[in-house]
Amino acid sequence: MGHIGLLVSVAALAMGVVHGPELRFPGTATVTCGPWEPGVETQTIHIELPGPRRGWEMSAVLADVEDGRRIRIPADVVTGEPRGALFFVHRARPLIEVSTNEEEGHGWMSFSAASCTPGAPVSFAIHARLGSELSGGNEVRIDGAFWGNVETADAGS
């Protein structure tokens, strides 16, 4: 199954270490639609702002978010049986790896637009605290929204 790319996006997401500094993520996020992961064909929206030293990514099962229902955090996403959504943030220094799948996390996220149709909008809001995937690691707070429009697969080529 191929991926459909997103070329235009706006991420108005305020992130910061709980009781610590803000986290900044320069660049433009991309969105693809495709399987959850290789071998797990569940139709999924993937939004990612990658970087070698810092970045974030969000994966959401299309059938679970297209109706706008609120996804509670912590999520209970099992790799082979995905449902709902998963948000992950990482940074190299200081080392941070947090996600909505950790039991220390709490909050919510919801999609006001979710589709894999070329040209359709994709948008979500999130208000959450993400739990650390590292023993004794920092938690991260995140508030804000993301907007983008899915384009055709060859729009970026």
Token digits of residue 63? 């059938």
pLDDT value, residue 70: 93
pLDDT value, residue 8: 57
156 part of a folded domain:
no
Residues 6+ apart with CB under 8 A from 62: 33, 43, 44, 45, 114, 115, 116
111 part of a folded domain:
yes
Q: How many CB atoms lie under 10 A from the CB of residue 145?
A: 15
157 part of a folded domain:
no
Q: Which amino acid is at 61?
A: V
51 part of a folded domain:
yes
50 part of a folded domain:
yes
Report whether 44 contacts 36 (CB < 8 A): yes
20 part of a folded domain:
yes
Token digits of residue 50? 């990658």
pLDDT value, residue 6: 40
122 pLDDT more than 90: yes
Q: Model pTM?
A: 0.88
138 part of a folded domain:
yes
**Backbone region of residue 77 per phi and psi (left: phi > 0; alpha: psi in -120 to 50; beta: other values):** beta
Comparing 101 with 156, which gets the higher pLDDT? 101
Confidence band (pLDDT; 50, 70, 90) for 118? confident
Task: Sort 121 into a burial class: Cβ within 10 Å, 0-12 / 13-18 / 19+.
Answer: middle
pLDDT value, residue 156: 45
Helix, strand, coil abundance in the chain, percent, nearest 5 = 5, 55, 40
Domain count, the chain: 1
3 pLDDT more than 60: no
Residues 6+ apart with CB under 8 A from 50: 57
107 is in which domain, residue-wise?
4-150
157 pLDDT more than 50: no
Tell me phi and psi for residue 77, to 5 degrees: -90, 120
Quick: pLDDT tens for 45-100. 999 998 889 999 999 999 999 999 899 999 888 778 899 999 999 999 889 999 99
- Cα separation, 59 vs 136, in Å, equals 25
Report the percent of the chain where pLDDT is more than 70.
Answer: 90
90 part of a folded domain:
yes
